[in-house]
Amino acid sequence: MHNMNSAAQMATFTALTATTIQQPVTVIRVEPDEFQRLAYLQDNPLIVFADSTSFFSTNYKYLTTYRELIFYCYSPTTLRLPDNAEIVKAKKLNLPS
């Protein structure tokens, strides 16, 4: 996992959202196994994730792009991701419910 500073995280966020400025973006929620499958289809996927802890459990949120679409998932466990993935740990990730 890569540790990135705030400037690098902002650059990553800007890159992920750049298509929003140019054209409408489709954001698609998938199940964790489908998210993993999409991650493994890519040569060097960029994956942003965050965890949130409540009194009883920890939940994980994941976000990536594939073929100009944005995919995300929620998972009760950490996902196995490709070794060649560039992973960004976000403090918070606001995704649709």
pLDDT, one tens digit for every residue, the chain (97 residues): 444 556 666 666 666 665 455 666 678 999 999 999 999 999 999 999 999 888 888 899 999 999 888 999 999 999 999 999 999 999 988 877 7
Structure tokens at 52: 């949130």
Count of helix runs (H) and strand runs (E) in the chain = 2, 5
Contact of 35 with 73, CB cutoff 8 Å: yes
Q: Can you give the pTM of this predicted structure?
A: 0.72
Closest to 58 in 3D by CA, of 31, 76, 79: 76
CATH 3.40.50.11900 corresponds to the domain 6-18+28-89: no
Beta strand segments in 1-97, E: 27-29, 46-53, 58-66, 69-75, 86-89
